[in-house]
Structures are given as structure tokens and as C-alpha cells.
């Protein structure tokens, strides 16, 4: 350890008179003084121990220390352990010396007669740091590459010393080997931002057969005061080709790819309609500004099975925010039925046809279809046929044959409905409380059919979901 100490001063401190602080300050009639002078410049190496001592101050009541003109506060500056005040305040002890300790220190001794000061400058020399890899580096590195390829490696070395780097290539001849200089294989350079970081680079371009060899890399500090760093690189050719790959590996990889494609296809088949519904409802423009008040008009025959299906369909669509017109429910009592149907069809955005065998035989269905076709221009995309409970060929209705030919029919699940003629819809109750009195199983079967693909396909053909927060049942004016 290097200690900046004035030997005569230490002798004087050991042999000095009893402490002046034991004498009342009022008894000193003369200014304090420093018994001996000291060097004004003290050198210390970073990490060592240093002592600032102005040699014994005498005839003083108090001593204060200043660094670069700023007073050192004992409650703040002397609490980290590396800076300590000794000998009644006449010494500053640095253990260890930090780079931040560099500066001009002033000692001020004071009594009633006045004060005296002495300054010293502490110069901190930087400690030489031996080079070391910043990350773990193995002494022997095995690398595989191909003919014609490039090979690049880079190591980071931390040191504040100047370095010498050497690359050698091992040439084998029989049982002996010699190292030849390979200065074009690599080099070292210093980081321009962080001065304590060096980089060593090993680089080969367009590798040929003669480049497959063992390379040795050595790093020294210029003064050879530290242990050298070394890395050995065994560069060899990668002889593995596609023809040599194990057939089991190829088969496994192929099966994995096929299985992955099948899984993706199956997943897309399951979620495709849901994705299309999300895109339609969130990215498509709504049709609320077309002057129509209903999103869909449902045309059906008044049989028990068809009626229960339509009431359930109306309920589920209105839960999603759509306004649906069902003549049996939404016609005003005592009004002209034909006029109300005509007005509702003209003010509906979509026309849903529940195509059961009874619907094909009915007479009024062609009337409703014709009225709707006259109300819209591109009826092909606005008419939604639902094939419900099987469908007979509509040979007697030309308009139905035309609609089924140009439109895309939604096929509903063909389920054996356990219904009779006693199904009752109570108009004063909500649509969620439809009562089927004679069959407890009807509701279960009905709900099962709505969980299948047909309902999602139907909703996909409806307009984008309107931005409505409440269920509204509009009557015609």
C-alpha cells in the first residue's frame, strides 16, 4: 500500500503535547499554526490507502476540512467508511482511494485569536487493469462451416491497458506441427465510446479447403505485466448433407408438417364463421342510414313447428340487437293485413324465408317474395332462404324456384321436433318465456339446433350488427 505520510510529522504527532482541545479556547492569545510544512501535492493510486496530514496543528480550538472550496460535513462525507477523520481532525484517511477523491483539500484551524489554513492537492492515479474476457470464453472452440462460407467471431475484452493481439494458424506435417503468423485472420481494436473495452475479431471469408485448420489467438498487454489471454479455434468442414440425413428424421418432419397443416385447416374450418362475423360487425359499415326500420322480415307458415322456430329465431336475433318483423306478432290488430305486410316488407333490409314443405305449398309466400323484390334493387344478396325440416321441390311456384336458384340457402339442422298443435305464444310475455305446454323436450331440441352452424351462417348474411343498447320492437305507423 502507498501511504502519503510525512515521517517527521508522524514523530511530532506521537510526541506532541497534550491535546489543545483540553485547554479552554479563551486561553489562546495567539493564532494557531502548523508545526511543520508538508508537500502540496500528494499522489495515490486508485484502490490504495492515502493520508492527508498537514503535520500537527497547534494552539487551535477547532479544525474544519474543505474539498474544492466546499466544506466537508462529518455527518454526510465521513459516513461511507472510506473517508475517516483522525487525530482530533488533523488527518484525513482514505481507505481505499477512489477516483472521485481527486481534488484540492484545505485544513482550517481556528481559535479566539484567528484562523490559519493549509492546502494540499490529492492526485489519484488510475490503476492498471489486466485484460480479461467480459464473458466466459472456452480455451478450445469447435466450429463447423461449409466451403465458400464466411466465418466471423468476436470477443469483448475489458482492460485500460494497450493490447497486442496475435493470430496463428497451425500447420501440420506428419506427426509435427508449426504455428505460422495469420495476421489477416483477425485483429484487435479499441472501443471508441468505452475506453476500457477492446474487441478481438476472427474473420475468414470464402473459406476453402486449406482454411480448415486450428487457429490460436493470443492477447498480451504491451508491457507483458499480466497473464496472456488465449483461445484455440478448431475450424472443420461440416460434411452433413441432405442425403445423409436419417430417413426416420425426414419421415417425422414430414408427418409433423402434414399434421400441422391439417390442424390449421380444421381450426380454420371451426372458427371461420366466427372470424367472418367479427370482421362484418366491427369493420363493415352499418346500414342504419338507409331509411328502413327493420333489419329482417321473417316469412313462414303458421304450423306449430315453424311458429316455434320463428319465435325462437326472433328472440335470438333481437338479443343480438337486430329488429325483426314477424307478421303474427307485429301486425296491428284490426288493420289491413295486406297493407301492413307491404309496408313492413318495403322497410326491411333482409327477407328471411323459412322454407318448410308447408311453406312451398302456401299461396301467400309468393306475394311476400314479390313485394320484397320490388322494394330492393339487388335482391340476390338480400333474400335469405332457410331450408327447414326438409324441402320439397317448388315446381308450382316460379318465383320460389328463381330465388332458390340465384340465392345461397342456409341449411338448418334436420331434427325430429317433438311438437303438437298445442304450442302457444303469449303476446303479453317476453319472447324468452315462450311456453310449449305439451312437450318439455321441445325447448331443449330447439336450443340444440341454434347451437349448430346454421344460425351463424344466417347471422353472417344479415346486415352488420347495429349499435343499439336496448331491445326495441317497432310497429308500423
7-54: per-residue pLDDT in tens?
344 333 333 433 434 567 877 888 888 877 667 788 887 777 888 776
Range scoring the smallest mean pLDDT among 151-155, 308-312, 464-468? 464-468
Highest average pLDDT, of 404-408, 409-413, 466-470, comes from: 409-413
More confident call, 313 vs 195: 313
| pLDDT surpassing 50 at residue 105 | yes
Average of per-residue pLDDT values in the chain:
78
Strand pairing report for 151-158 and 197-204 = antiparallel
291-312: per-residue pLDDT in tens?
788 999 998 888 877 888 888 8
CB atoms within 10 A of CB 32: 21
Q: Are 232 and 216 in contact (CB under 8 A)?
A: yes
What CA–CA distance (Å, rounded) separates 312 from 388? 14
What CA–CA distance (Å, rounded) separates 403 from 395? 13
What is the percent of the chain where pLDDT is above 90? 9
First and final C-alpha spacing in the chain: 104
CA 14 to chain centre: 67
pLDDT at site 41: 81
CB atoms within 10 A of CB 190: 14
More confident call, 10 vs 115: 115
CA 449 to chain centre: 42
More confident call, 207 vs 20: 207
- Give, for 453, the enclosing helix (H) or strand (E): helix 453-461
pLDDT at site 416: 59
| pLDDT surpassing 80 at residue 2 | no
Q: What angle do CA 337, 341, 344 make, to 5 degrees?
A: 140
Mean pLDDT over 259-276 rounds to: 85
Q: DSSP of 39-85, one letter per residue?
A: -SEEEEETTS-EEEE-S-EES-SEEEEEETTEEPPHHHHTSSSSEEE
Q: What is the largest CA-CA distance in the chain?
A: 136
CA 38 to chain centre: 63
pLDDT at site 397: 65
Amino acid at each position: 500500500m502507498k501511504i502519503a505520510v510525512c515521517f517527521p510529522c508522524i514523530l511530532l504527532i506521537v510526541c506532541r503535547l497534550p491535546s489543545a482541545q483540553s485547554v479552554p479556547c479563551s486561553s489562546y492569545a495567539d493564532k494557531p499554526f502548523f508545526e511543520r510544512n508538508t508537500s502540496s501535492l500528494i499522489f495515490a493510486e486508485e484502490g490504495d490507502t492515502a493520508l492527508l496530514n498537514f503535520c500537527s496543528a497547534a494552539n487551535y480550538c477547532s479544525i474544519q476540512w474543505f474539498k474544492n472550496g466546499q466544506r466537508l460535513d462529518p455527518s454526510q462525507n465521513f459516513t461511507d467508511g472510506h473517508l475517516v477523520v483522525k487525530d482530533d481532525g488533523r488527518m484525513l484517511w482514505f481507505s481505499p482511494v477512489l477516483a472521485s477523491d481527486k481534488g484540492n483539500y484545505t485544513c482550517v484551524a481556528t481559535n479566539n485569536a484567528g484562523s490559519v489554513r493549509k492546502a494540499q492537492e490529492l492526485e489519484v492515479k488510475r490503476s492498471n487493469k489486466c485484460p480479461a474476457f467480459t464473458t466466459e470464453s472456452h480455451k478450445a472452440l469447435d466450429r463447423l462451416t461449409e466451403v465458400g462460407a464466411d466465418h466471423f467471431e468476436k470477443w469483448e475484452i475489458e482492460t485500460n491497458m494497450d493490447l497486442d493481439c496475435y493470430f496463428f494458424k497451425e500447420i501440420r506435417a506428419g506427426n509435427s506441427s508449426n504455428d505460422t503468423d495469420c495476421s489477416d485472420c483477425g485483429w484487435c481494436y479499441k472501443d471508441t465510446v468505452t475506453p476500457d473495452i477492446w474487441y478481438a475479431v476472427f474473420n475468414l471469408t470464402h473459406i476453402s479447403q486449406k482454411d480448415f485448420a486450428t487457429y490460436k489467438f493470443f492477447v498480451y498487454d504491451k508491457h507483458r505485466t499480466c497473464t496472456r489471454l488465449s483461445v484455440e479455434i478448431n475450424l472443420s468442414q461440416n460434411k452433413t448433407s441432405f442425403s445423409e440425413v436419417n430417413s426416420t428424421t425426414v419421415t417425422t418432419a414430414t408427418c409433423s408438417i402434414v399434421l400441422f397443416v391439417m390442424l390449421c385447416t380444421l381450426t380454420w374450418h371451426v372458427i371461420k364463421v366466427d372470424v367472418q362475423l367479427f370482421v362484418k360487425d366491427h369493420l363493415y359499415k352499418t346500414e342504419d342510414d338507409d331509411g328502413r326500420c327493420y333489419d329482417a322480415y321473417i316469412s313462414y307458415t303458421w304450423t306449430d313447428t315453424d311458429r316455434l322456430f320463428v319465435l325462437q329465431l326472433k328472440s335470438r336475433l333481437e338479443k343480438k340487437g337486430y329488429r325483426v318483423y314477424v307478421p303474427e306478432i307485429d301486425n296491428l290488430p284490426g288493420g289491413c293485413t295486406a297493407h301492413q305486410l307491404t309496408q313492413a316488407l318495403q322497410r326491411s333490409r333482409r327477407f328471411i324465408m323459412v322454407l318448410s314443405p308447408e311453406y312451398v305449398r302456401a299461396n301467400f309466400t309468393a306475394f311476400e317474395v314479390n313485394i320484397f323484390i320490388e322494394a330492393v334493387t339487388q335482391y340476390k344478396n338480400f333474400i335469405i332462404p332457410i331450408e327447414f325440416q326438409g324441402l320439397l321441390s317448388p315446381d308450382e311456384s316460379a318465383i320460389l324456384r328463381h330465388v332458390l336458384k340465384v340465392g345461397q340457402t342456409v341449411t338448418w339442422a334436420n331434427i325430429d321436433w317433438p311438437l303438437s298443435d298445442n304450442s302457444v305464444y303469449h303476446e303479453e310475455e317476453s319472447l324468452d318465456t315462450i311456453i310449449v305446454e305439451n312437450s318439455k323436450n321441445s325447448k331443449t331440441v330447439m336450443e340444440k339446433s341454434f347451437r349448430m352452424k346454421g344460425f351463424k351462417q344466417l347471422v353472417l348474411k344479415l346486415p352488420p350488427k347495429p349499435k343499439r343498447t336496448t331491445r326495441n320492437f317497432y310497429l308500423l305507423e
